[in-house]
């Protein structure tokens, strides 16, 4: 008790002074795990724990934000990229205010980080892990992390798994993301271990095999009989739903209690189909490798809220990069604070993720925390604003005749955006249903074109579900092995 | 002068009533707790150090300052105890009124009224604090260790040195003194706050850790210790201040060892609240797996096939564990079976 109180006090003081010690956060996460073992849940005021959306007085938050931004800018001057940039633009970190931050500090485009990751690494840090994005939008972006940062991220993740996800020692996580996604795998594995739960690294194997593993009895002491929590990308979940619907799996075959999706847009249509197929609650949160540990969580009114604790979030017009107006589409521009990030430093990083700014001020339980709509897609030009990914996926994933994960291509035609969709059987009835629903959703499409061969699509959008990992199980089962080298 | 039998009997009855009140509070009221934190060995060390150093510190402080410190502590404890019944603000107001009246009685030189009000404050406070510790998850083992340390300390501070005697003299008549006064005058009868806290705390902790029976045994043991000490006073066997914990401490440690020897494992707060049994028949998982391994498979089951087994019969088969389970479910078997490969 005394030790826990002391650690929380130290963390608070460290955060104010601008230097968070990883070992203190680790102790807090250990105390949380012990608390969960003893009481089953955290006590009152758990919102005050790191990363738990605690309410802060606006004036105090303003002061803290200014101080954190100055400290982060000061740290960034040690990197090759920002030292040069600050010299050219005349930025003086000590004089920055919240207002001058937007006016003076240039945004950092993704291509700058992708082009030279080392230019963003502080020479005072010791990089130990290179994390790469999946590169679905082109070549992967790499980010270097130090040991301290990893410790901080794991500790915060342990707190989030324990409180937000309700992970307990009896649970078994099936982690269905690419095994090459090192950072998420490392964080999930270590957080799971600290809580005492179990981890099954499924990877992104053939969905039919993944379903078999999810349904497999485990017969382990102190653990649920089957995998209880599934983590993965939305497109891979879509592939699992398709396989479950196709192969006659029932929700009763699985022991899933929750499904946590990240990295891609999770539509309401897919959420409902996955709940039906697996009998588990499906939820998502906003996280991104480059800006860790900054993230966002949903309130009961389905806003995404961005706690000010780990970084500064701006909602900017995707084209002008000026503050977006209420109701407009914005791109998330994020600065992770140097209290939590010491290796790769990023100021005003343009994530490219699109959200909508709320028309009116939210009145939900997190009303005083910056909010936006759900992520609606990724900026790739004006077409991505006119017809956002979420709208297209809501249209396609609610139609059961469209195979999951939905494959489509959006091209600008003379009459407007034309939506090309891959389907099993291109029938007039299906086309009519899609057109009617597109009108209902208010999609400004010039038309919809169905293709029975995915290769006929003008372009293809890469999905995380395509990062398929091979196993020998199915081929061995089908006796298709033609030889052996052993 | 030897105390009369009535105040000594009253002390025993009062202890019994307080234990009953604390137990009723324990069963009905859930106190708030901090977001994270459990009792650790370091907490026992810190509490022991505070307990040893505090009387020495108080002896070097002016009486007014000591009274103020105790007053603030008591006000907090009264507020904590009453808040679940009447709300935080009303509890604070009640605490202010009660503590204010105690201080006023002292300022007006009304020793009898001061002692009476002080007893009321102390009674409310000790019920709340004992519950705070027990509901906060202090383990019976930790409490037994604490009792063991306190036994040694009480023996030294009260029996072998004059620290506690001087402390008792120093705080005598003070408002918020950590002493429950049963009788004043030439043959006073009183119980120290530390003794009272342990008398209330162990039955709650034992009930949480080892079940209702253990709580009842602890309560009876505490009352019996008080009664025996009172009897020894009346019989003039004891004639001066007695460190009660030197008797109570070993009784607490003994009970803890007894329950552990009887094979009882300590329940967590979560298990206590959910009514988990204190003696759980261990599930013989090895037997379940061994039984599944012994099941003789039909000749028709080809090598490499996965079979789902419930007790001694095959309920499904498939090319993988998951498909064998699905086959079992399709055969009308609802429970999750054991799977093995043929």
- The answer on pLDDT for B283 being more than 70 is no
Tell me, yes or no, whether B95 and B25 share the same domain: yes
Report DSSP letters for B76-111, one per residue: HHHHHHHHHHH-HHHHHHHHHHHHHHHHHHHHTT-H
Tell me, yes or no, whether B167 and B302 share the same domain: no
Q: Indicate whether B125 belongs to any domain.
A: yes
Among B245, B269, B293, residue at a domain's last position: B269
Tell me, yes or no, whether B231 and B295 share the same domain: no
Cβ pair A43:B32 closer than 8 A: yes
Relative to beta strand A172-176, strand A142-146 is: unpaired
Among B269, B296, B323, residue at a domain's last position: B269
Question: Quick one: average pLDDT of A134-161?
Answer: 88
Measured from the Cβ of residue B177, the count of other Cβ atoms closer than 10 Å reads: 26
pLDDT tens digit sequence for A320-336: 999 999 999 999 999 99
Tell me, yes or no, whether B38 and B75 share the same domain: yes
- Reported ipTM: 0.81
Q: Which residues of B touch A42 (CB under 8 A)?
A: 35-36
Measured from the Cβ of residue A336, the count of other Cβ atoms closer than 10 Å reads: 25
Tell me, yes or no, whether B179 and B312 share the same domain: no
- Min mean pLDDT across A2-11, A211-220, A338-347 is at A2-11
Tell me, yes or no, whether B173 and B83 share the same domain: yes
Confidence category of residue A486, pLDDT binned at 50, 70, 90: very low
Question: Quick one: average pLDDT of A411-420?
Answer: 90
Q: Which residues of A touch B136 (CB under 8 A)?
A: 1
Q: Domain count of chain B?
A: 2
Q: Indicate whether B245 belongs to any domain.
A: yes
pTM equals 0.83
**Percent of chain A, pLDDT > 70?**
96
Cβ pair B336:A42 closer than 8 A: no
Cβ pair A43:B37 closer than 8 A: yes
Question: Quick one: average pLDDT of B194-208?
Answer: 93
Q: Which residues of A touch B39 (CB under 8 A)?
A: 1
Q: Which residues of B touch A1 (CB under 8 A)?
A: 34, 37-40, 43, 136
Shortest CB distance from A215 goes to which of B285, B289, B322?
B322
Question: Quick one: average pLDDT of A40-58?
Answer: 74
| A172 touches B: beta carbon within 8 Å | no
**Token pair in block for residue A197:** 């739960």
Question: Quick one: average pLDDT of A48-54?
Answer: 69
- The answer on pLDDT for B144 being more than 80 is yes
Tell me, yes or no, whether B321 and B210 share the same domain: no
Nearest CA in chain B to A159: B36
Tell me, yes or no, whether B263 and B305 share the same domain: no
Q: Which residues of A touch B36 (CB under 8 A)?
A: 4, 8, 28, 31-32, 34-35, 42-43, 46, 49
With beta carbons less than 8 A apart as the criterion, state whether B18 and B126 touch.
Answer: yes
Among B213, B240, B269, residue at a domain's last position: B269
A459: Cβ contacts below 8 Å, ≥ 6 apart: A409, A411
Question: Quick one: average pLDDT of B25-30?
Answer: 92
Confidence category of residue B6, pLDDT binned at 50, 70, 90: confident
Domain that includes residue B314, residue range: 285-341
Its sign, for the CA torsion A40, A45, A49, A51, is positive
Cβ pair B37:A252 closer than 8 A: no
Q: Indicate whether B279 belongs to any domain.
A: no
Residue A209 CA from chain centroid, whole number: 25
Pairwise pLDDT comparison (A139 vs A154), residue with the higher score: A154
* pLDDT at residue B277 in the model: 78
Nearest-neighbour CA in chain B from A210: distance (Å): 9
| A35 touches B: beta carbon within 8 Å | yes
Q: Indicate whether B115 belongs to any domain.
A: yes
Confidence category of residue B160, pLDDT binned at 50, 70, 90: confident
Q: Indicate whether B276 belongs to any domain.
A: no
**Percent of chain B, pLDDT > 90?**
43
- The answer on pLDDT for A475 being more than 80 is no
Q: Indicate whether B278 belongs to any domain.
A: no
Pairwise pLDDT comparison (A99 vs B279), residue with the higher score: A99
- Min mean pLDDT across A73-87, A208-222, A345-359, B308-322 is at B308-322
Question: Quick one: average pLDDT of B7-34?
Answer: 90
pLDDT tens digit sequence for A185-220: 999 999 999 999 999 999 999 999 999 999 999 989
Q: Taking all residues of chain A, what is their mean pLDDT, rounded to a whole number?
A: 90
Tell me, yes or no, whether B167 and B312 share the same domain: no
| B307 touches A: beta carbon within 8 Å | no
Confidence category of residue A485, pLDDT binned at 50, 70, 90: very low
- The answer on pLDDT for A52 being more than 90 is no
Largest Cα separation within chain B, whole Å, is 98
- Min mean pLDDT across A8-17, A54-63, A360-369, B11-20 is at A54-63
Q: Which residues of B touch A252 (CB under 8 A)?
A: 329, 334
| A158 touches B: beta carbon within 8 Å | no
Question: Quick one: average pLDDT of B66-76?
Answer: 89
* pLDDT at residue A481 in the model: 43
Q: Indicate whether B45 belongs to any domain.
A: yes
* pLDDT at residue B216 in the model: 94
| A361 touches B: beta carbon within 8 Å | no
* pLDDT at residue A282 in the model: 95
CB-side neighbour CA atoms (13 Å) of B192: 19
Closest CA to A135 of A467, A406, A376, A384: A467
- The answer on pLDDT for A484 being more than 60 is no
| A477 touches B: beta carbon within 8 Å | yes
The stretches of B136-275 forming alpha helices (DSSP H) are 140-154, 163-171, 193-210, 212-234, 245-261, 269-273
- CA-only gyration radius of chain B, Å: 28
Question: Quick one: average pLDDT of B62-86?
Answer: 90
Q: Give the A:B interface size as CB pairs under 8 Å.
A: 115
Shortest CB distance from A2 goes to which of B42, B321, B338?
B42
- The answer on pLDDT for B3 being more than 80 is no
* pLDDT at residue A30 in the model: 92
Q: Indicate whether B316 belongs to any domain.
A: yes
pLDDT tens digit sequence for A16-42: 787 889 999 999 999 999 999 899 888
Cβ pair B323:A212 closer than 8 A: yes
| A221 touches B: beta carbon within 8 Å | yes
Tell me, yes or no, whether B99 and B243 share the same domain: yes
pLDDT tens digit sequence for A101-141: 998 999 999 999 999 999 999 999 999 999 988 766 667 88
Question: Quick one: average pLDDT of A159-171?
Answer: 91
- The answer on pLDDT for B254 being more than 90 is yes
Nearest CA in chain B to A42: B35
| A32 touches B: beta carbon within 8 Å | yes
Measured from the Cβ of residue B99, the count of other Cβ atoms closer than 10 Å reads: 24
Q: What distance in Å separates the CA atoms of residue A33 and residue A196, rounded to the nearest whole number?
A: 9
Tell me, yes or no, whether B81 and B109 share the same domain: yes
- The answer on pLDDT for A339 being more than 80 is yes
Cβ pair B34:A5 closer than 8 A: yes
Largest Cα separation within chain A, whole Å, is 71
Q: Which residues of B touch A215 (CB under 8 A)?
A: 321-323, 325-326
Q: What distance in Å separates the CA atoms of residue A331 and residue A385, rounded to the nearest whole number?
A: 10
Tell me, yes or no, whether B262 and B319 share the same domain: no
- The answer on pLDDT for A315 being more than 90 is yes
- Min mean pLDDT across A171-185, A465-479, B125-139, B306-320 is at A465-479
Closest CA to A307 of A328, A325, A290, A285: A285
Confidence category of residue A12, pLDDT binned at 50, 70, 90: confident
Q: What distance in Å separates the CA atoms of residue A405 and residue B327, rounded to the nearest whole number?
A: 27
């Amino acid at each position: 008790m005394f030790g826990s109180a002391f650690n929380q006090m130290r963390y608070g003081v460290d955060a104010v002074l601008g230097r968070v010690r990883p070992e203190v956060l680790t102790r807090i996460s250990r105390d949380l795990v012990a608390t969960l073992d003893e009481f089953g849940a955290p006590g009152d005021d758990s919102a005050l724990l790191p990363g738990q959306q605690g309410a802060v007085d606006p004036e105090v938050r303003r002061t803290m934000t200014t101080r954190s931004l100055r400290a982060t800018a000061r740290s960034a001057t040690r990197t090759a990229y920002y030292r040069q940039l600050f010299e050219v633009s005349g930025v003086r970190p000590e004089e920055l205010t919240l207002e001058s931050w937007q006016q003076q500090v240039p945004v950092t485009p993704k291509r700058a980080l992708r082009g030279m990751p080392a230019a963003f690494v502080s020479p005072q840090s010791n990089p130990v892990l290179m994390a790469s994005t999946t590169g679905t939008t082109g070549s992967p972006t790499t980010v270097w992390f130090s040991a301290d940062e990893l410790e901080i991220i794991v500790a915060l993740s342990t707190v989030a798994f324990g409180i937000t996800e309700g992970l307990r020692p009896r649970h078994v996580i099936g982690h269905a993301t690419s095994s090459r996604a090192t950072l998420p795998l490392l964080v999930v594995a270590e957080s799971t271990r600290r809580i005492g739960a179990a981890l099954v690294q499924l990877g992104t194997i053939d969905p039919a095999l993944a379903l078999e593993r999810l349904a497999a009895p485990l017969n382990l002491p102190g653990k649920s009989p089957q995998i209880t929590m599934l983590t993965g990308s939305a497109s891979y979940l879509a592939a699992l739903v398709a396989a479950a619907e196709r192969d006659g799996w029932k929700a009763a075959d699985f022991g899933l209690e929750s499904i946590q999706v990240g990295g891609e847009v999770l539509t309401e249509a897919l959420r409902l189909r996955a709940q039906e197929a697996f009998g588990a609650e499906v939820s998502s949160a906003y996280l991104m490798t480059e800006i860790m540990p900054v993230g966002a969580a949903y309130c009961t009114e389905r806003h995404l809220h961005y706690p000010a604790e780990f970084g500064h979030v701006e909602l900017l017009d995707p084209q002008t990069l000026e503050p977006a107006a209420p109701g407009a589409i914005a791109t998330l521009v994020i600065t992770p604070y140097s209290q939590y990030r010491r290796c790769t430093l990023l100021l005003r990083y343009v994530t490219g993720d699109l959200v909508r700014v709320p028309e009116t001020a939210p009145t939900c339980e997190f009303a005083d925390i910056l909010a936006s709509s759900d992520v609606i897609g990724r900026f790739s030009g004006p077409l991505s604003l006119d017809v956002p990914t979420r709208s297209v996926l809501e249209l396609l994933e609610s139609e059961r005749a469209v195979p999951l994960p939905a494959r489509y291509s959006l091209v600008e035609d003379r009459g407007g955006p034309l939506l090309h969709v891959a389907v099993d059987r291109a029938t007039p009835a299906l086309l009519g249903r899609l057109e009617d629903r597109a009108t209902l959703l208010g999609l400004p499409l010039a038309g919809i074109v169905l293709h029975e061969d995915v290769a006929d699509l003008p372009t293809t959008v890469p999905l995380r579900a395509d990062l398929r990992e091979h196993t020998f199980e199915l081929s061995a089962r089908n006796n298709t092995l033609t030889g052996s080298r052993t | 002068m030897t105390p009369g039998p009535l105040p000594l009997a009253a002390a025993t009855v009062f202890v019994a009533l307080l234990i009953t009140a604390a137990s009723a509070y324990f069963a009905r009221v859930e106190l708030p707790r901090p977001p994270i934190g459990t009792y650790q060995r370091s907490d026992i060390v810190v509490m022991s150090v505070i307990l040893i150093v505090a009387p020495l510190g108080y002896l070097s402080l002016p009486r007014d300052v000591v009274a103020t410190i105790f007053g603030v502590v008591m006000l907090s404890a009264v507020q904590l105890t009453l808040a679940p019944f009447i709300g935080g603000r009303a509890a604070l107001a009640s605490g202010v009124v009660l503590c204010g009246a105690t201080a006023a009685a002292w300022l007006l030189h009304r020793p009898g009224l001061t002692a009476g009000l002080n007893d009321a404050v102390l009674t409310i406070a000790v019920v709340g604090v004992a519950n705070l510790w027990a509901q906060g998850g202090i383990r019976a083992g930790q409490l037994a260790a604490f009792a063991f340390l306190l036994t040694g300390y009480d023996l030294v501070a009260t029996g072998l040195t004059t620290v506690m005697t001087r402390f008792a003299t120093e705080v005598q008549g003070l408002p918020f003194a950590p002493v429950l006064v049963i009788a004043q005058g030439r043959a006073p009868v009183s119980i120290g706050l530390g003794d009272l806290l342990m008398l209330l705390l162990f039955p709650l902790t034992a009930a949480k850790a080892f079940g209702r029976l253990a709580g009842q045994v602890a309560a009876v043991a505490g009352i019996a210790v008080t009664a025996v000490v009172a009897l020894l006073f009346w019989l003039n066997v004891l004639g001066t201040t007695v460190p009660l914990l030197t008797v109570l401490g070993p009784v607490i440690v003994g009970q803890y060892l007894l329950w552990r020897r009887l094979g009882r494992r300590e329940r967590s707060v979560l298990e206590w609240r959910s009514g988990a049994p204190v003696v759980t028949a261990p599930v013989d998982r090895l037997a379940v797996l061994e039984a599944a391994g012994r099941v003789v498979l039909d000749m028709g089951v080809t090598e490499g096939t996965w079979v789902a087994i419930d007790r001694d019969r095959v309920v499904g088969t498939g090319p993988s564990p998951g498909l064998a389970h699905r086959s079992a479910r399709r055969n009308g078997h609802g429970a999750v079976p054991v799977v093995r490969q043929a």
